[in-house]
Amino acid sequence: MFSLSLAIPMLFTMLIHAADSLSYALRLGGLRTRRIALAISLAGILLLVSRTSNMAQGPMVGNLVDTATRGTNPHFAAQLHWLMGAATIGTALAILCFPTMVKLSSRMVVHFEAAGSIPAMVRGMLKRSKIRNATYYITPPSWKMAKRLVQHGMPRRLMLLNVAVTAIYTTGVLSSLYAAYLYPGQAVAASQSTGLINGIATILLTILIDPRISLLSDKSLRGEIRLDRMNQIYGCMLVSRLFGTLLAQLLLIPFAYWIGWIVSMM
């Protein structure tokens, strides 16, 4: 069941979710330095890692579908659950690295402003002295940080929405591939039906989550919200992403049958 053909896409899945989760650290670093636009620009680097990994992952996961369709892979469903487990691991690693990444992001934003471009910034940060100084910013998570997440009220509605969006995104592609396996007569239609699931997540993210985070960030820059509150909000969003990857485990098969039902009626 567990093989190299599964381990490699699991690695890419971990990278995708770790990079997406750590984009919160860049935004928070931008707030701390009051350079949010520069921070969002730097977040493109993490998005590049995520999208490149996603492109590389696709054919590998598709190969799992092919072997399952030929009857040589009886553990296909379990392998998809392993892939979602890798998403949870990647998010958990991002949580462990979050305090360090926030501090590094604050410095990266300042270096980016001084360098004027990302290539010049990267060249400067690859100097031996800069690499040696980077160890100063290593900050492991602490129990004190965890207690701060529940102080002064958690953004429960925002967290629940983020759990739902993350769960849908995590299982969207995998459910469509599993539907292609369950309904071989409509395999192509099912495998191309990811949008039936991910479209819901995109609407929720675009209308309800991103505007709210942007509004809170602007209020923080204007001094209407304390930075400690934004630390808490971004921390809660990161934790909710972790729970979203866990919820995705329960949605894989129901979403697959839902996609199969829709494509069978077309």
Cβ neighbours of 213 (radius 10 Å)? 18
- Give every CB contact of residue 46 below 8 A, 6+ residues apart in sequence: 19, 20, 22, 23, 26
CA pair distance 48, 239, nearest whole angstrom: 23
CB 171 within 8 A of CB 86: no
Q: What is the pTM of this model?
A: 0.88
Q: What is the mean pLDDT of each run of 10 residues along the chain (266 residues)?
A: 77 89 87 82 76 71 78 81 94 92 84 78 76 76 78 83 92 88 83 80 86 88 86 91 95 91 82
Q: Which two tokens stand for residue 70?
A: 């030929």
Quote the CA–CA distance of 108 and 28 in Å, as a whole number.
Answer: 12
Region of 223 on the Ramachandran plot (φ > 0 left; ψ -120 to 50 alpha; else beta): left
pLDDT for residue 240: 94
d(CA 141, CA 147): 11
